[in-house]
């Protein structure tokens, strides 16, 4: 065989390989644009005038759960207030309720009854008119323990519930209930005739600006504009697609690649990182308080001085800067600054004083003690723990982490057995104090997760829960805070908002007091 | 072939039975309670107990196991606690995504692996062999998720040439479906392909030293004929076994790739079922994976026998 033939033959595999690569590149480039064109691009244009039309594509890590609209399931954070409406929504700036389905209401001076007048121009997406019967059905569903609804403790204070015609609802309460609007906030009004179909994702019939078009479990939900909404001219989007993207890296990729224009549930670090880049912006919503709580039945935390010493030992500002990137506030009270009766002095009761902490621990006879701290397995919690551990080591205490999944963590809360003497918590702080002290597992008067119990605490919880006027609310909250902070069994380290990221091509995103996202009047720039 | 399959049945049944016990018991060892998840925020013990009773979780585990396995044998895979739908429909919604990804990746494994292996096993140039060895070693060493992230960065973020999350069914829209498959399939296939290539290369180099190759050379056969008719043909058995083994790795790797590319496949269903303690879905998935792995092994043995006449299925030597 000649050298030329050998050279020719041996060059053939190489030419085949090169050709294959070239063909692949051609095919890929030809096909590429089609798939990418189907996803809206995240242009870097700034917000402009309101523009009608377009499809908003968003993402979140939790799947939508159509069986849980009354539970405030985190998976419904974007869909719930697009498809459904509540009687009222609390203005996040003023803290006052604003009517949505309720046209007007009259709360009795003693706050023991409420008369609601409904709008008479509301229809469900099926065409059925909203009536008082739907409102009563919804409240009764919340009261039903098998529903597992949010704020059922408030609903259970409703002693009498009746309709007076199609558009009047009269409620009577067992005790003064100024926090009834917290219940309304998390109670989307459902269609009593089709509610049973919701769980399967079918016939999800609401009154909101968008209709539930389709749901692919684990993948996405499609919402389309409800053309017959009473104020449809102010619904700007044609559709909303909510994609489920569980992996944090994939969620970041989705935003950066322009596949989605708005993402909820990103890690705070990712949110801040992307939000600071051109073409993106951070959206803040809701909020959480993060306390280091203690089981007061377990040593050394049965000693109030020890608990207080630990509060002095922790550098909250370091947590704010290093874990939260400045998007948080050091606070000892679990309320937002907009809360009626909020006292900034009480919120900063425990400043960083490690020397004082050491003195208090020495006085309590504690040195070199080791204990476990339970936390949910998230970067934020483990990051906060690292700082807490470092701070506590400086005052002679050794904290060991016990990191668990949220399913395990929630089961421990439900069982009131955290398993460790100390635990980091992450609690929403959107509720008014009257609701929070009767709902939050760390704040309950009886059977809280810290097993803290005292007559004085029970009394103060009762006063906060039943304060009927603004002045009484302020006084009750001030007294409660003073005692709560002093006892230090669940005092927060920080409070911080929830961060999400939007492309600057989408505007008009807002949120409820509880941190649920309202996309109803969002729009895309041209 | 029939005798072979009949002889395989008892061991297959035993493996599936043992796997069913593991599939049932293993998820229940994890801490956490699905009833707490379903009962909403901070539920009362009474509410949790009511849900446990409603779902039959308060019965003895042995009874629960027998109820489940009898149901499976009758074609009833049970009801998802969390999704409120039959397990069959939950899996049915997701299986197409995983099958598409697995088939695409398997095809790439065969194509890339065979191509690289043949090139590495054929070339006499030292620099070419060294380069191909380096490429192979690189793809074996680098984890699939890292390859996936790099592909996302290059093709989705920096250049926006291909979609990086989500999926479209190939059956509904072949053009878009394939575009959504390209990056995850490549990320999933490269490492197994490199393994196949390495094994094929080794076998081919070994086969080249055999007497029949020397005979073919002395008879004047062309290098390509020697490579394809003699060397490759006798090396493919190992490659087939390697591909069969790698199918199992593909299924495992698909869990991570599905997460990175946000595909709604069985891998993600398994992860979410673990997180929510949706036992009924999880135990069916575990059993299903074992069943597929056993089937792959059987098909591999059949494929090997068809390639190598010296191997007879079920024959005694």
From A455's Cα to the closest Cα of chain B, the distance in A is: 23
B151 and B54 in a common domain: no
Q: Is A153 in CB contact (< 8 Å) with chain B?
A: no
Q: Is A74 in CB contact (< 8 Å) with chain B?
A: no
CA distance A175 to A157: 7
Bridge partner list, A220:
A216, A243
Place of tokens 């490429």: B135
Does B40 map to a domain? yes
- At residue A282, the 3 state secondary structure works out as strand
Last residue of a domain, one of B23, B38, B73: B73
Chain A residue with Cα closest to B117: A13
A257·B94 Cβ contact <8 A: no
Q: Residue B22 in contact with residue B286, Cβ under 8 Å?
A: yes
B141 and B63 in a common domain: no
Closest CA to A279 of A49, A43, A525: A43
Q: Which CATH architecture has domain A287-497?
A: Roll (3.10)
B32·A408 Cβ contact <8 A: yes
B120 and B36 in a common domain: no
Q: Residue A50 in contact with residue A236, Cβ under 8 Å?
A: yes
Phi, psi of B67 (to 5 degrees): -60, -45
What burial letters (b/e) apply to B5-39, b meaning 16+ CB within 10 Å?
eeebeeeeeeeeeebbeebbeebeeeebbbbbbbb
Q: Is A18 in CB contact (< 8 Å) with chain B?
A: no
- Cα B63 to Cα A117, B68, B81, B84, distances in angstroms: 54, 9, 18, 22
B163 and B62 in a common domain: no
Which pLDDT score is estimated for A418? 95
Bridge partner list, A170:
A115, A162
Helix or strand run (H / E) with residue A477:
helix A470-487
Q: At what angle do helices B87-122 and B174-207 cross, to 10 degrees?
A: 40
B143 and B286 in a common domain: yes
B187 and B61 in a common domain: no
Residues of chain A contacting B220 with CB distance shorter than 8 Å? 1
Which pLDDT score is estimated for A6? 39
Chain B residue with Cα closest to A449: B42
- Stretches where chain A sits below pLDDT 50 are 1-13, 15-34, 36-46
A148·B40 Cβ contact <8 A: yes
Place of tokens 């709604």: B264
A32·B161 Cβ contact <8 A: yes
B164·A257 Cβ contact <8 A: yes
CA distance A455 to A209: 48
Report the residue of B30, B35, B40 to disrupt the A interface, i.e. the one with the largest count of A CBs within 10 Å: B40
From B149's Cα to the closest Cα of chain A, the distance in A is: 8
Chain A residue with Cα closest to B32: A408
From A42's Cα to the closest Cα of chain B, the distance in A is: 11
Does B104 map to a domain? yes
Q: How far is CA B127 from the centre of its chain?
A: 34
CA distance A121 to B261: 44
B165·A59 Cβ contact <8 A: yes
Q: Is A21 in CB contact (< 8 Å) with chain B?
A: no
Report the residue of A32, A144, A255 to disrupt the B interface, i.e. the one with the largest count of B CBs within 10 Å: A32
Report the residue of A26, A261, A377, A414 to disrupt the B interface, i.e. the one with the largest count of B CBs within 10 Å: A414
CATH code: domain of residue B197: 1.10.3720.10
Which pLDDT score is estimated for A48? 64
Q: Is A245 in CB contact (< 8 Å) with chain B?
A: yes
Q: Is A36 in CB contact (< 8 Å) with chain B?
A: yes
Phi, psi of B144 (to 5 degrees): -65, -35
Radius of gyration, CA atoms only, chain A: 27
Residues of chain B contacting A34 with CB distance shorter than 8 Å? 175-176, 179
B133 and B50 in a common domain: no
Last residue of a domain, one of B41, B73, B105: B73
Q: Residue A192 in contact with residue A482, Cβ under 8 Å?
A: no
Chain A residue with Cα closest to B150: A253
Q: Is A144 in CB contact (< 8 Å) with chain B?
A: no
Which pLDDT score is estimated for A81? 97
Does B79 map to a domain? no
B268·A257 Cβ contact <8 A: no
**Cis peptide bond prior to A168, omega within 30° of 0:** no
Does B56 map to a domain? yes
B179·A34 Cβ contact <8 A: yes
Does B216 map to a domain? yes
What burial letters (b/e) apply to B113-133, b meaning 16+ CB within 10 Å?
bbbbbbbbbbbeeeebbeebe
Closest CA to A130 of A223, A208, A186, A226: A208
Phi, psi of A240 (to 5 degrees): -130, 130
B165·A243 Cβ contact <8 A: yes
Q: Which of A34, A411, A415 is closest, CB to CB, to B176?
A: A34
Provide the domain count of chain B: 2
Q: Is A470 in CB contact (< 8 Å) with chain B?
A: no
Question: What is the residue range of B253's domain?
Answer: 91-307
Show the tokens assigned to B46.
Answer: 């009474």
Which pLDDT score is estimated for B271? 87
Spell out the domain ranges in chain A: 55-63+208-279+504-524, 85-196, 287-497
For chain A positions 323-352, those within 8 Å of chain B (CB to CB) are: none
Show the tokens assigned to A421.
Answer: 């003497």
Residues of chain B contacting A441 with CB distance shorter than 8 Å? 42
Which pLDDT score is estimated for B309? 67
Residues of chain A contacting B41 with CB distance shorter than 8 Å? 71-72, 148, 150
User: What are the pLDDT digits (tens) for A475-523?
Assistant: 999 999 999 999 999 989 999 999 999 999 999 999 998 899 999 999 9
Q: A55-63+208-279+504-524 has which CATH code? A: 3.40.190.10
B45·A415 Cβ contact <8 A: yes
Residues of chain A contacting B264 with CB distance shorter than 8 Å? 216, 218-219, 244
Q: Which long-range contacts (CB under 8 A, 24 or more apart) does A474-482 make?
A: A474/A340, A474/A341, A475/A341, A476/A341, A477/A335, A477/A339, A477/A340, A477/A341, A477/A342, A477/A433, A478/A341, A478/A343, A478/A346, A480/A433, A480/A437, A481/A333, A481/A343, A481/A346, A482/A346
CA distance A417 to A408: 11
CA distance A108 to A177: 10
CA distance B87 to B79: 5
Q: Topology of A85-196 in CATH?
A: Dipeptide-binding Protein; domain 1 (3.90.76)
Bridge partner list, A370:
A398
Q: Which of B38, B93, B124 is closest, CB to CB, to A217?
A: B93
CB atoms within 10 A of CB B186: 20
Residues of chain A contacting B279 with CB distance shorter than 8 Å? none
A146·B115 Cβ contact <8 A: no
Q: Which of A17, A36, A411 is closest, CB to CB, to B31?
A: A411
- Stretches where chain B sits below pLDDT 70 are 41, 307-317
Residues of chain B contacting A155 with CB distance shorter than 8 Å? none
Does B295 map to a domain? yes
Last residue of a domain, one of B45, B73, B101: B73
Residues of chain A contacting B127 with CB distance shorter than 8 Å? none
Q: Is A404 in CB contact (< 8 Å) with chain B?
A: yes
Phi, psi of A26 (to 5 degrees): -65, -45
B119·A150 Cβ contact <8 A: no
A28·B149 Cβ contact <8 A: no
CA distance A32 to A36: 6
B30 and B157 in a common domain: no
Residues of chain B contacting A247 with CB distance shorter than 8 Å? 259-260, 262
Which pLDDT score is estimated for A46? 45
Show the tokens assigned to A386.
Answer: 């690292």
B154 and B114 in a common domain: yes
B127 and B31 in a common domain: no
CA distance A464 to A478: 9
Pairing of strands A220-225, A210-216: antiparallel
B229 and B197 in a common domain: yes
Burial of B44 (0-12, 13-18, 19+ CB in 10 A): middle
A250·B272 Cβ contact <8 A: no
Which pLDDT score is estimated for A439? 86
B194 and B59 in a common domain: no
């Amino acid at each position: 065989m000649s050298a030329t033939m050998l050279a020719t033959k041996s060059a053939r595999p190489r030419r085949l390989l090169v050709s294959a690569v070239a063909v692949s590149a051609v095919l890929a480039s030809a096909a590429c644009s089609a798939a990418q064109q189907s996803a809206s691009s995240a242009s870097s244009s700034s917000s402009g005038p309101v523009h009608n039309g377009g499809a908003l594509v968003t993402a979140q890590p939790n799947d939508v759960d159509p069986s849980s609209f009354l539970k405030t399931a985190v998976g419904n954070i974007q869909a719930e207030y697009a498809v459904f409406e509540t009687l009222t929504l609390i203005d996040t700036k003023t803290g006052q309720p604003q009517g949505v389905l309720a046209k007007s209401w009259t709360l009795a001076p003693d706050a023991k009854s409420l008369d609601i007048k409904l709008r008479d121009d509301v229809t469900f997406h099926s065409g059925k008119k909203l009536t008082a019967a739907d409102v009563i059905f919804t409240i009764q569903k919340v009261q039903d323990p098998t529903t597992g609804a949010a704020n059922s403790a408030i609903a259970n204070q409703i002693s009498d519930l009746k309709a007076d015609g199609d558009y009047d609802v009269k409620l009577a309460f067992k005790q003064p209930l100024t926090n009834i609007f917290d219940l309304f906030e998390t109670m989307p009004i459902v269609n009593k005739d089709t509610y049973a179909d919701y769980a399967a994702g079918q016939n999800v019939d609401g009154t909101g600006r968008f209709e539930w078009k389709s749901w692919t479990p684990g993948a996405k939900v499609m919402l389309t504009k409800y053309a017959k909404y009473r104020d449809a001219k102010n619904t700007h989007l044609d559709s909303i697609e909510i994609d489920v993207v569980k992996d944090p890296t994939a969620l970041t990729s989705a935003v950066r690649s322009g596949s989605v224009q708005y993402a909820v549930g990103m890690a705070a670090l990712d949110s801040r990182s992307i939000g600071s880049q051109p073409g993106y912006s951070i959206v803040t919503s809701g909020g959480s308080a993060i306390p280091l709580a203690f089981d007061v039945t377990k040593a050394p935390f049965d000693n109030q001085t020890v608990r207080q010493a630990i509060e002095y030992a922790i550098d909250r500002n370091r947590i704010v800067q290093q874990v939260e990137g400045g998007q948080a506030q050091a606070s000892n009270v679990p309320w937002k600054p907009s809360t009626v009766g909020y006292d900034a002095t009480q919120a900063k009761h425990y400043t960083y004083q490690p020397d004082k902490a050491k003195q208090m621990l020495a006085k309590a006879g504690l040195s070199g003690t080791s204990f476990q701290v339970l936390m949910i397995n998230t970067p934020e919690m483990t990051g906060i723990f690292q700082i807490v551990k470092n701070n506590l080591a400086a005052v002679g205490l050794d904290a060991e982490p016990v990191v668990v999944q949220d399913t395990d963590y929630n089961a421990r809360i439900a069982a009131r057995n955290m398993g460790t003497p100390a635990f980091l918590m992450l609690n929403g702080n959107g509720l008014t104090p009257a609701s929070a002290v009767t709902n939050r597992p760390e704040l309950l008067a009886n059977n809280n997760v810290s097993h803290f119990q005292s007559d004085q605490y029970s009394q103060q919880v009762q006063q906060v829960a039943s304060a009927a006027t603004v002045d009484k609310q302020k006084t009750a909250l001030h007294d409660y805070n003073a005692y709560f902070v002093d006892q230090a069994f669940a005092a927060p380290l920080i409070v911080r908002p929830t961060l999400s990221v939007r492309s600057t091509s989408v505007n008009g995103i807002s949120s409820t007091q509880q941190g649920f996202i309202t996309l109803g009047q969002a729009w895309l720039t041209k | 072939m029939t005798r072979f399959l009949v002889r395989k049945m008892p061991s297959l049944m035993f493996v599936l039975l043992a796997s069913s016990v593991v599939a049932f018991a293993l998820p229940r060892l994890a801490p956490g309670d699905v009833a707490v998840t379903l009962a909403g925020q901070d539920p009362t013990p009474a509410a949790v107990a009511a849900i446990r009773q409603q779902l039959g979780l308060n019965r003895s585990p042995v009874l629960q196991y027998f109820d489940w396995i009898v149901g499976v044998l009758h074609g009833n895979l049970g009801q998802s606690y969390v999704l409120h739908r039959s397990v069959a429909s939950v899996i049915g919604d997701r299986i197409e995504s995983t099958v598409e990804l697995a088939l695409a990746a398997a095809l790439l494994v065969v194509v890339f692996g065979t191509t690289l292996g043949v090139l590495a096993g054929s070339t006499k140039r030292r620099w070419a062999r060294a380069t191909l060895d380096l490429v192979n070693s690189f793809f074996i060493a680098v984890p699939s998720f890292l390859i996936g992230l790099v592909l996302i960065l290059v093709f989705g973020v920096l250049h926006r040439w291909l979609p990086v999350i989500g999926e479209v069914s190939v059956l509904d829209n072949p053009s878009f479906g394939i575009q959504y498959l390209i990056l995850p399939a490549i990320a999933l296939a490269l490492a197994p392909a490199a393994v196949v290539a390495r094994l094929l290369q080794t076998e081919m180099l070994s086969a080249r030293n055999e007497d029949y190759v020397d005979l073919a050379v002395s008879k004047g056969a062309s290098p390509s004929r020697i490579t394809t008719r003699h060397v490759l043909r006798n090396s493919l058995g190992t490659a087939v076994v390697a591909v069969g083994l790698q199918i199992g790795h593909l299924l495992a790797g698909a869990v991570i790739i599905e997460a990175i590319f946000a595909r709604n496949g069985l891998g993600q269903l398994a992860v979410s079922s673990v997180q929510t303690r949706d036992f009924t879905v999880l135990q069916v998935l575990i059993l299903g994976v074992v069943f597929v792995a056993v089937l792959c092994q059987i098909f591999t043995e059949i494929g090997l026998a068809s390639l190598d006449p010296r191997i007879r299925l079920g024959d005694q030597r």
